[in-house]
Structure 1
Amino acid sequence: MKKIILSAALLFFMSSKVSSCSWYDPDYEYFNLFTQSIIKDKSYLPFLHTLSNRFYGHEHFEIPDENIETWQRFFGNSLTYAETQILVEKMPMKDLNFFKKGVSGNAILSKLGSYQKYAEAIDYLIEAKYLEPFMRINFVESPDSFYYNAEENSKNATQLNVEKTVSALTSLYNAAKNPEIKLRYGYQLVRFHHYTRNYEASLQAFKKYVEPLQLKTAPYFLALDQFAGAQRGLKMTADANWNFFQVFINSKSRKESAFVSMKLSDSASFDNLMKRAKTSEEKNMAYFLLGFDDFSNPIPMMEKMYEIDPNSEILKVLAARSINELERSYLPIYFNNAKDASLSEKRTTETKTDVAKVPETSFWQKIKNFFSGIFGGKKSSDPENGNDQSESDLLKNPNRIPKFTKNEYDETSKDFATDLKLITSKIKEKSNDEFWKITDAYLAFLKKDYDESTKTLEEIKTTNPEYLAEISRMKMLNKITSQPRITPEFEDDLYKNYKEFFVAKAPAIEKDSTADHFGYEEYHAPSTSEFLKDILANRYFLQGEEAKSFLMNNQLSDLRYNPNLDLAKKLEAFFNKNDKTQFEQEIIAKNINDVGNTASFFNVLYGDFAMRSGDFERAKTYYEKGSDFSGIPLSEGIYDYNTGEYVKIADPSKVYNGFNNISSLIFGHNHLVSYGSPENEMMKAEKFVPEFPFIKANMNKLELSAGLLQLKKVAAGKDEKAAKANQLIGNLLYNTSALGFYRHVFVMDIDNSNGPKYHFDKTDSPFQFYYKNYSSNVFIAPDNFDLAIGFYKKALQNTLDKEQKARILFQMASAEQGKYYQYEAKNTFNANYDDPDWSKKQDEWMKNMDQSKNQKYRTYFVELKKNYAETQTSKGLQGTCSYYDYFMKKN
């Protein structure tokens, strides 16, 4: 299952602007360490930064409705907010009618006392509840529409008798004595005319029934919202925008709808708002909307707002949004290593020089190391201690996170952290809100100025619980991220003071059927704990402690998916380390998991690498030490290409598990090529295999390596049997290469289905930050096809059998094809698709590749065609290999 996931995972991590999926949330692709919602005016929460929804926070926050609060005050605060909301929005009309008759047993209404006390209010609520189901505009479907309208049979305002409804509301308006209730009837009149598309009547109703009352309470702005809607219906765009703007400013709960209703699609719309703006609040709000709508560079708008009012609450909203935008570039949950260097060669060079370079040991350092050795200490250049970079070098390392990483898929992404810090530093000097000091400290943290960040945080005096929580977390982040080198002493401090961040489990996630099918779990919001693990993984990586870096983000079992010899040796050294700190024991070493006997796991892995390099003697030594290898887990079963399902294994003891049950056909040759078909249909044994009785029908890796050593002894001769032995060894090396049917045998896999190990284009470790998502990266040491060719050449020299020579040459040609694929992967076509000469350049590239292929990588096909075309072997190959048949028939 893991192999199927990997390709999808790679596609996902290529871009942070991936299209929406049921399991993907763009707000979960970075570490959100700055809590945007600490702004004090919660009515602006919807306008904080999010890419998941149009507005922020619906899943977390509920903004109090000022209309409910107004009703609550009207009833003398005898009801709670929740009770008032039930009364106004949810209570059935019949309950109010019973209360009016004096027979209601409703507990909420009983708190109001008698009906007579609030008679006008109760009568209004009865009328409002009668009207409410109809209070929506009638939907007029376009003649060209082909969408199903789910509400085509729902109620709307046109279903009421217009004349009777207006007459009733007017009569009730005139009869009401309380101005607040009178205002609410005026609102109903404005709304009713708007929803029946009597726009002019709606405007007149507002002027006649609402404005004269001169009350700017919640019902007024509800009415103004309807008034602006009627203006929009009459194409009075500028006036409508201005009135929606007033609703936006003065209403807490209707800011979202007012913003949506404003049509601010061009600079003229904003200019009109600015011309009408008289107060500082109006001007500030206009700048805010401009900054919100065009967020590519928020600094100019913040400068203008600062000049008007440095204490503006909406200025904090823009600042919070700006920080959140920066976080997405400074704190991604995954650094796409391959994307951060334009070429793999550049990436490799940077890794070797900037990250893992060990400076030449100085004279005094040599003396220090000498005396450290005498007294039992470790040299500072000891691999377990990391490399010998100074603390200053480590702090200045360009790959030390946090770091700004431009999103190449989003051309608008910019690093405006420095400019933002300049203005926040100015604002904090004039504003009386500690928010700005917190903001200033956080920006210093992103820019790695930990001393300034900590100093600013220490100066903050506040009792605001949200501020205090943010300050506490930021102090911890500064302490951990500012540490130049992660030493054993610092690990002890981490374990003592911050253990909960490293042992706490992620919240339980409920899988759906889709997640189960594709092998991923639904995403959860990245946590501070995960960020700290990334920080430590990055620090260990830069220090040269790659084993600890790997285990901070991965489990040892992940090494199976991309076996890496150098990393495996470092992991084994850490595994065998006797003096682990408590942090290393309880946090890092916990991820040495699920590989059975760990020592055997490493030895089998080493044996596999030795086999791929043709060192059969060394491989045998490792396999002897790894004979207790428990095998790769087979719980998933075997993938069936015909059904697309995993088939459970009835008897795992008879299936290849990474060590046991290797068929002698591994020494054979391809009859046909189909990786998903049974081996006995695809592979044929060489007819002379019985001459080598030590080749068993079913072998484990130890037996296989022992057999190869015996074959190698025979192969040292100069006779026909030596030729056959060399041919068998060549077959095994080819069959276990990326092109072979047994390509999985020496790369820690259970079958030959496609996966990251079988690619030709990613053969160098792509990591330059740390080893996060190790199993989702594609790389493995490349096959050396010349090894197989070398044994085939010896076989060719020693045999006199022409049919056998033809078979050997075809095998050599197949290995040579592997060399071409490697060459092709390193010389991919690279031109901008916008280039007007793109097609011409592609044709030229293909021409050059074909020329190289024919001149350098068809050596053995040419010889086979020239000298062995008439052999039965050659004719048989033409019937089973279409490419060879094409080559033979080509002039």
Structure 2
Amino acid sequence: MNLKKYTIVLGSVFVLLTGTVIYGIACGGWVDPYDDHITFYNNHIAGDPDYKPFYYIAYETLYDYSEPHDPYNQNIAEWKKYLGVESMPDSAVYRAIYTNNSESFELIKNKKETEWPDSLRKNVFVVELAKKKNADALTYLSFAKACEPYVNTQYSEWEPVKPDANSMYALIKEGIQQVAKIKKDKFLKLRYGYQICRLAHYSGDSEGCIQYFDTYVTPNQSQSSVYYWTLALKAGALRVIGKYPESAYLFSRVFSECNNNRIIAYQNVGYLSVYNKYNYKQALPLCKNSTEKADLLAVETLGNSGHALPEMKEIYEYDAKAKCQDVLLVREISKLEASYLSPKLMQSNKKDSLLLKATSAAEPNYLEVEGKYADSLFRFCELVSSERKVNEPALWKISGAYLKFMQRDLKSAKAILTQAESMKMSPKVKDQFEVLRLLITINEQDKIDATFEEKIFPSLQWLDKKRKAELDQKTNDLFSDVPFAKINRYLMLTILAPKYEKQNDRVKATLCYLQSEMISEPGIKKAEEENAYAWQLPVAIDYLRNAMNAADIEKLMQLNAKANKTGFEQLMTTTFSVLGSNFMNELQGTAYLREHQFAKAITAFKKLPANYFEKDPYKTYLAANSFVDLINDTHAPTERDTKKFTKLTFAQTMLAFEKKAKDDPKNAAFCYYQMANGFYNMSYNGNSWLLVNYSWSVTDRDYLTADLPYLKDYFYNYTAEKYYMKAQKLSVDQNFKAKCSFMAAKCFSSRIMYPTVPDNADNWMERNNRAAERYYELLITNKYFADLKKNYSTTPFYAKAVSECSYLKDFVSRR
């Protein structure tokens, strides 16, 4: 097979059979492996929970590292049935078998019940074991406990511990002797065989393990989990002695028949495939029937991260009802979502304002290959659904419709969905049917209006209920078990929001982004308490803070306060309504600051608690004098930071200067100069950037979209420069005028960009050196430097500026 092989690296048979997996994530940006691509498909639709560990996932070897069925529970059930105590609580059996040590069992065997500690005397299962009729069972459990220290050791490549082969062999002999004493009790014989094989395996006696299995386990074969645990030991021993096909075949039987030991079986088949150059065709002759052949191929195919359609077709020929076939279909859908759907949607969003990341490259030839594969998978889905041999033909029919949706063939997708409507569906498949119908309906609509919103409202409401139910039950930060929350997320992010943005309706787009967030309502309230909105609602908060102007925010707040909302509006404002008023008032005030509407900013900021700006980040990043005029910019504290300003007091001060400039012409120059200082310091270069932005990085000018409403002034200081020039024009003080020219020069220099040098350019170092020289030349030829030297070279400020500003000094020295 042309497989992208398993990424399992395991050091020994011991590691394989204990299920230990060691993996690492390199330093750098981290991607949630369960949310690495756009999806509108419930990946839990088939095989849940039995095959959940083997769902497709890009960055891990398994989707879930826990067996879906607890081996303890199944063994406990077998013991209860064996002793005829089915009504006994599982907890009592668990404590008796798994928490007691060998000394406890010696007490039970050799002491009267009155001499037992309370932990034994009060355990009803222990009391049952102590009865004379169960003496053989008690003897076995005592033997099993004696074996445990030799087979439950922790493996370490750094400090490997050599097994105590002599002691283990002595226990094997004891076990064989005990088996000889038991005549017809297959239940205990099987378990003794398990302990004997386990001791042989971990002592390094692989040949012995195989022989003991054939002698003591095969005659007592049953559907017990213990039989398959022992079969896995034999399979591991066969791998050690080089019988790879035989090993793979037995592991495939364990995988198929033992639902609490599948992960180990799967990992071992992967190990055989990668390290022992085993090919499944070598093991096919060992299979007893076509179903076993299908199972054998399915185990290996579950580890295929590439195109698995050829293997799926072969499995279908062997056994159309193969247990894994539906799971393999869902895996292929998930792969195409990552390799085809996600890049296609990213291409359609040229600005990529959501910073969506796909796991695959989006070159046209690559997408063409993936598109052709989607066609091939679609044809197979159509064949399988029409022949109706599989367990659920409707799953295959609807998956075919989804593949057409991926390719944006809405007409075909809709027609196939219509055909599927009369087919029998499980609840999960029916849910996927409804999701796909909603997707097609929205994508067919060119313009969204109030009538259409009410049309899709019932479906969105249904999806939202499923989203909330999943998020309310989520116990960690990973998105592994929230398929409908993810479907809702990407419906909002990649379909509805872009449609509203295309209609220039940023208010509804914002609501879409808010509804897309993967957080419950209690989580949003907690985020407010912890000042963590930006972490918990990253896409929506980023859009609110960077794409919305003050008028948009006002409309959004008015919509939320609307008394007679439509059903659609009620639904879409659900998340927004949970945001605290403090957040919105601060956001609105900041939007007004960006637009220099200081009176309105004051009104918004006054609605905040009096101590609102005393906390971080304001406490740390608004600690400077926002009206200082520094020759050299810095974000570090200076001796001139004798007064600090909050967003409120800054807006009040700017408004006061603005009013005074109009009312007192004599002091207008001073007022405009102070306002220019305020405008400059609230810019990217200034000491009070937090007044209008929420984060700062040296790479911001490289990555932030330049056409966002406020960024022109934030990065390039046009308004500050304008006000410095207004101040200079109104003044007759030469030293003051010199200050105005110098500060205007700083504004002008903020628009000088470092020449771009491509990372992959030939002679990068040489080209970068030339770029640095060019950048330096642009900085020292600032047009205001000439004005300073020509008109103000005799002023005290000029002398100070030349001594402190290296660029001005170099300009002067050259001339």
TM-score (structure 1 length as normaliser): 0.66
Are the aligned partners of 1:557 and 1:595 in contact in 2 as well (CA < 8 Å)?
Answer: no
CA distance 1:135–1:787, change in 2 (3 Å): closer
CA distance 1:443–1:853, change in 2 (3 Å): farther
Give the corresponding residue for 2:309: 299
Distance 2:650 2:214 in 1: 97
- 1:458 aligned to which of 407, 411, 421: 421
CA distance 1:134–1:570, change in 2 (3 Å): same
Distance 1:87 1:683 in 2: 68
Residue deviations 1:192-213 (CA, integer Å, cap 9, x gap): 2222223343344334444566
Are the aligned partners of 2:80 and 2:88 in contact in 1 as well (CA < 8 Å)?
Answer: yes
Give the corresponding residue for 2:606: 630
Identity percentage of aligned residues: 19
Give the corresponding residue for 1:545: 505
Distance 2:281 2:810 in 1: 73
Q: Does residue 582 in structure 1 map to residue 591 in structure 2?
A: no
SS for the counterpart of 1:256 is: helix
Letter in 2 for 1:205: Y
Give the corresponding residue for 2:398: 441
- 2:453 aligned to which of 469, 473, 491: 491
- 2:98 aligned to which of 78, 90, 94: 90
- 1:807 aligned to which of 719, 739, 764: 739
- 1:128 aligned to which of 137, 144, 148: 144
SS for the counterpart of 1:738 is: coil
Distance 2:463 2:231 in 1: 51
Give the corresponding residue for 1:874: 798
Distance 1:204 1:267 in 2: 23
TM-aligned CA deviation for residue 302 of structure 1: 1.5
Residue deviations 1:148-194 (CA, integer Å, cap 9, x gap): x8xx7xxx962873453233222222232226233433333222222
Are the aligned partners of 1:562 and 1:757 in contact in 2 as well (CA < 8 Å)?
Answer: no
Are the aligned partners of 1:183 and 1:220 in contact in 2 as well (CA < 8 Å)?
Answer: yes
Give the corresponding residue for 2:232: 225
CA distance 1:408–1:460, change in 2 (3 Å): same
Give the corresponding residue for 1:424: 381
CA distance 1:460–1:50, change in 2 (3 Å): same
Gaps of 5+ in 2: 1-23, 114-120, 515-536
Are the aligned partners of 1:231 and 1:239 in contact in 2 as well (CA < 8 Å)?
Answer: yes
TM-aligned CA deviation for residue 675 of structure 1: 3.0
Q: Does residue 703 in structure 1 map to residue 656 in structure 2?
A: yes
Are the aligned partners of 1:29 and 1:328 in contact in 2 as well (CA < 8 Å)?
Answer: yes
Distance 1:412 1:89 in 2: 56
Give the corresponding residue for 2:484: 528
Q: Does residue 829 in structure 1 map to residue 757 in structure 2?
A: yes
Distance 1:648 1:841 in 2: 39
Q: Does residue 858 in structure 1 map to residue 782 in structure 2?
A: yes
SS for the counterpart of 1:178 is: coil
Residue deviations 1:353-379 (CA, integer Å, cap 9, x gap): xxxxxxxxxxxxxxxxxxxxxxxxxxx
TM-aligned CA deviation for residue 50 of structure 1: 3.7
Give the corresponding residue for 1:562: 546
TM-aligned CA deviation for residue 78 of structure 1: 4.4
CA distance 1:571–1:754, change in 2 (3 Å): same
Distance 1:56 1:647 in 2: 43
- 1:197 aligned to which of 199, 204, 207: 204
Letter in 2 for 1:762: L
Letter in 1 for 2:191: R
Distance 1:648 1:784 in 2: 24
Distance 1:406 1:203 in 2: 44
Distance 1:795 1:841 in 2: 41
CA distance 1:273–1:120, change in 2 (3 Å): farther
Give the corresponding residue for 1:187: 194
Give the corresponding residue for 1:816: 748
Give the corresponding residue for 1:347: 351
Q: Does residue 839 in structure 1 map to residue 755 in structure 2?
A: no
Distance 1:56 1:475 in 2: 28
**Counterpart mapping for 1:249-328 below 5 A:** 249-262=256-269, 263=271, 264-265=273-274, 268-271=277-280, 273-274=282-283, 276-278=285-287, 279-328=289-338
SS for the counterpart of 1:842 is: helix
Give the corresponding residue for 1:770: none
**Counterpart mapping for 1:70-85 below 5 A:** 74=82, 78=86, 82=90
TM-aligned CA deviation for residue 231 of structure 1: 3.9
* RCO higher in structure (CA 8 A, sep ≥6): 1
Letter in 1 for 2:278: S
Distance 1:122 1:404 in 2: 59
Matched residue count: 732
TM-aligned CA deviation for residue 888 of structure 1: 4.6
Q: Does residue 739 in structure 1 map to residue 699 in structure 2?
A: no
TM-score (structure 2 length as normaliser): 0.72
Are the aligned partners of 2:550 and 2:592 in contact in 1 as well (CA < 8 Å)?
Answer: no
TM-aligned CA deviation for residue 814 of structure 1: 1.0
TM-aligned CA deviation for residue 83 of structure 1: 7.4
Are the aligned partners of 1:247 and 1:255 in contact in 2 as well (CA < 8 Å)?
Answer: yes
TM-aligned CA deviation for residue 817 of structure 1: 0.7
Distance 2:92 2:232 in 1: 23
Distance 1:267 1:765 in 2: 57
**Counterpart mapping for 1:631-650 below 5 A:** 637-638=613-614, 647=619
Are the aligned partners of 1:441 and 1:453 in contact in 2 as well (CA < 8 Å)?
Answer: yes
- 1:158 aligned to which of 161, 164, 177: 164
TM-aligned CA deviation for residue 548 of structure 1: 1.3
Are the aligned partners of 2:47 and 2:327 in contact in 1 as well (CA < 8 Å)?
Answer: no
TM-aligned CA deviation for residue 312 of structure 1: 1.3
Residue deviations 1:571-591 (CA, integer Å, cap 9, x gap): 369649989642365344563
Gaps of 5+ in 1: 1-16, 352-398, 513-520, 612-618, 650-654, 657-661, 685-695, 715-720, 768-777
Are the aligned partners of 1:829 and 1:842 in contact in 2 as well (CA < 8 Å)?
Answer: yes
Distance 2:600 2:656 in 1: 10
TM-aligned CA deviation for residue 215 of structure 1: 6.7
Letter in 1 for 2:385: K
Are the aligned partners of 2:394 and 2:424 in contact in 1 as well (CA < 8 Å)?
Answer: no
CA distance 1:569–1:88, change in 2 (3 Å): closer
Residue deviations 1:587-608 (CA, integer Å, cap 9, x gap): 4456376567999986x66764
Residue deviations 1:470-492 (CA, integer Å, cap 9, x gap): 55666666666666554323434
Distance 2:790 2:263 in 1: 79
Are the aligned partners of 1:756 and 1:779 in contact in 2 as well (CA < 8 Å)?
Answer: no
Are the aligned partners of 1:134 and 1:160 in contact in 2 as well (CA < 8 Å)?
Answer: no
- Choose 861-870 or 534-543, whichever is displaced more: 861-870
Are the aligned partners of 1:757 and 1:779 in contact in 2 as well (CA < 8 Å)?
Answer: no
Letter in 2 for 1:546: R
Distance 1:63 1:599 in 2: 51
Higher share in helix: 2
Q: Does residue 754 in structure 1 map to residue 700 in structure 2?
A: no
Letter in 2 for 1:707: K
TM-aligned CA deviation for residue 265 of structure 1: 0.7
Distance 1:816 1:525 in 2: 53
TM-aligned CA deviation for residue 255 of structure 1: 1.9
Letter in 2 for 1:571: K
Are the aligned partners of 1:273 and 1:286 in contact in 2 as well (CA < 8 Å)?
Answer: no
